Structure 1
Amino acid sequence: MTDRIRPLLLGYIREAVLGSERLASAQTRLEAFAHDEGFALGTVFIDRRHSLPGAFDALMQEIRRGDEAWGIVIPDVGHLNEANYRVMNAGRHDYTSTTVLVANAIASSRLP
């Protein structure tokens, strides 16, 4: 175990795009990715299938609130839709230092 403080990642999952993967499995994948890459995983914001979408908005409010989170981690690129990208681009001045990491089962990558 290391004594150094790990940078914080916030998670985001859209339950509707999980396909056959279970929500718990997707959360575990985010946790494992964060740990393996030297991060601590904070709150995982989940947009559920049968509820009003709002988790992404809550995630963006958390990012805007302070500089605690180093970035966002998602299970794969399908979890961010066109509306999410528009929100991030419209508020680019609020999110200029936010990095989105993809905890893909095959490989991880950074989104441009």
Structure 2
Amino acid sequence: MDGCTRPLALGYIRTGVVMTADDLAAERVGLAAFALAEGYTLGAVYLEHPNTAPAAFEAMLDEVRRDNEVWAVILPAAHQVTDGGLRAMRRQLEHHGTVHLVVAAPAP
């Protein structure tokens, strides 16, 4: 990786928390802005729908397994998953390498 390349981050949004299409668009924009501000290149954003969970998380893990360039997964906010869910996600991601779980807007 050269000095100009930003580390790759994936996004993960649980749509059960996001109520409207406008809310979802705002979450995506927020992830992109956070990624840019923190020095990441934002790759795919995975949307987890309550009726198909954990399909998006599994697809994201598949990408992590395939792409050694993935450095982080960004959640828009800590309230999107429980504390136990955050720990489980962190364990799953770290099991597949040094992929960090980053929360753009931590709980107050």
TM-score, normalised to structure 1's length?
A: 0.74
TM-score, normalised to structure 2's length?
A: 0.77
Q: Between Structure 1 and Structure 2, how many residues are aligned?
A: 102
Separation (CA, whole Å) in 1 of partners of 2:102 and 2:26:
17
Q: Which residue of 1 aligns with 2:52?
A: 52
Alpha-carbon displacement from aligned partner over 1:22-80 (angstroms, at most 9, x marks no partner): 0000000000000111111000000135x412111111111122311111001011233
Within 5 Å, give how 1:21-100 maps onto structure 2.
22-49=23-50, 51-53=51-53, 54-81=55-82, 82=84, 85-86=87-88, 89=91, 92-95=94-97, 97-100=98-101
Separation (CA, whole Å) in 1 of partners of 2:77 and 2:47:
14
Q: Structure 2: 5+ residue runs without aligned partners?
A: none
Tell me which moved more, 79-88 or 5-14.
79-88
Q: Which residue of 1 aligns with 2:6?
A: 6
Q: Structure 1: 5+ residue runs without aligned partners?
A: none
Moved over 6 A (4+): none
Q: Flag the 1:17–1:42 CA change in 2: closer, same or farther, 3 A.
A: same
Q: Percent identity?
A: 31
The DSSP-based 3-state class of the residue aligned with 1:102 is strand
Q: CA deviation at 1:86?
A: 3.6
